[in-house]
Structure 1
Amino acid sequence: MIRVLVVDDDFMVAQVHRRLVERVPGFCVVGEARTGAEALRMAAELRPDLLLLDIYLPDMAGTEVLRRMRAEGRPEADALVITAARDAATVRQALRGGAVSYVIKPFEAETLRDRLLRYQEARGILRGGGEHGQAEVDRVFGRSAPAGTAGAGAREMPKGLTRESARLVERELSRAGEVSASECAELTGLARVSARRYLEFFVGEGKAEVRLRYGTAGRPERRFHWIGPPSA
């Protein structure tokens, strides 16, 4: 089992994260911390494999928690950052601190599940020791082969999705910058449900993010913003 410590100052948010983690086979939550100091103490006592770490804590930033853990010689605990912070400086600090992934709030449950499964796969690859090929190392670092690349190293598309349609959605989303599922369907000719699945796929790939647009009434509109490189 991969042992997880949830670090978030909001009790209700921490409970939601706990439930999401425990729905993924192979993961268990060993504790919840509300402050940076509590996170450091519990990490030393419980020896978790992974921290689900918020940036905005009442006593110190989550990036400072990462820095202190490394300074105290505890590199064995990895960190998956879950936060509303999206500024470049914070993202850079998280990278330098060794965060294995970075999820921006609000997010879909499937996004966190995807990041956890990728982390689980990377741990499995490295657990056996020995030497590894480029394809395996790319998987450890969360990279996949370019769309359309043939061979065993290419990452498989989710069931029901095709690389051809994925390239079409990628091109239109990249050009538009931001679309809703309905707008994407109009641009690509896909059904709205299919367009949304491809958009969610790119969110899981780290090439897009979800932004909520609030209107005068009803549920907020989900808009998908392209953050990957320009599409050819």
Structure 2
Amino acid sequence: MIDVLVVEDDFMVARIHRGFVDSVDGFRVVGTANCGEQALTAAAELQPDLVLLDLYLPDMFGLDVVPRLRTAGHDCDVMVISAAREAETVRGAVRQGVVDYLLKPFDADDLRDRLERYSARRSNLSAGMVSGQADVDRALGRVAAPPVTPTLPKGMSVETSELVERALRAADGTLSAAECATRVGLSRVSARRYLEYLSVTGRAVVTLRYGQAGRPERRYHWHDR
């Protein structure tokens, strides 16, 4: 079991993140903190394996927490979760040795994928010695990406994909799967499948709209490259 500390200044967002983490097999949240000083205290008390670290904290910048964790002798890994998109911030996170950097907004599947990859890399270093370069590469996340194929997934048609693409291009702003389904004449489930395919292939961008309750709504817009 991988113990996780969530560091997030927004109470509601922290609760959402906690739910996301606890839904992933092999992970559990052992505590939360809403500022840098609380994060340092919680790390000392709870000894987490992984810290999910927001950068915009009320008392200090999140990346300043990392060297203080190391100075205090904590060897926990750090995964940044932030809306910070500045290249220098990302480079700074890399220099600090973070294991991943996830941009807000995101949904449960986005975080699940990164946690599962983290768990796999962690497992690659569970033995006393690595067996070869391939183990080192896997531990560093340097696994070759699967080849991109131009063919649609099974059960999807070129004609329907083009209809969804045209609806997305013509939209004034973003579309939800339900809105797209109404415009194209598909079920919501089918529309979302095509929209997710466009997102995965880089032709659409996903944003999240948070409501008063329940899961955030995924919204899509065409990616003009």
TM-score above 0.5, yes or no: yes
Question: RMSD of the TM alignment (CA)?
Answer: 3.3
How far does residue 199 in structure 1 lie from its aligned partner after superposition? 4.5
Identity %: 49
How far does residue 94 in structure 1 lie from its aligned partner after superposition? 1.0
Q: Who is 2:221 aligned against? A: 223
How far does residue 68 in structure 1 lie from its aligned partner after superposition? 1.4
Q: Deviations over 1:119-146 (max 9, x none)?
A: 1111111111222334333322223324
**Structure 2 unpaired stretches of 5+:** 153-162, 170-189, 210-216
* Structure 1 residues 133 and 194: CA distance shift in structure 2, 3 A: farther
**Structure 1 unpaired stretches of 5+:** 149-161, 167-180, 214-218
**Aligned AA (1:85):** A
Q: Deviations over 1:30-64 (max 9, x none)?
A: 10001100001111111100001100000001100
Q: Who is 1:127 aligned against? A: 126
Q: C-alpha separation between the residues in 2 aligned to 1:220 and 1:146? A: 25
TM-score (norm 1): 0.69
Q: Who is 2:17 aligned against? A: 17
The 8 Å contact of residues 33 and 42 in structure 2, kept in 1 or not, is answered as yes
Q: Who is 1:5 aligned against? A: 5
Q: C-alpha separation between the residues in 1 aligned to 2:93 and 2:110? A: 19
**Aligned AA (2:7):** V
Alignment of 1:144-159 (within 5 A): 144-148=143-147
- Of structures 1 and 2, the larger Rg is shown by 2
**Aligned AA (2:111):** L
Q: Does 1:44 align with 2:47?
A: no
Q: Who is 1:109 aligned against? A: 108
Q: Who is 2:139 aligned against? A: 140
Q: Does 1:165 align with 2:176?
A: no
Q: Who is 2:94 aligned against? A: 95
* Structure 1 residues 4 and 53: CA distance shift in structure 2, 3 A: same
Q: C-alpha separation between the residues in 1 aligned to 2:17 and 2:142? A: 25
The 8 Å contact of residues 2 and 49 in structure 1, kept in 2 or not, is answered as yes
**Aligned AA (1:36):** G
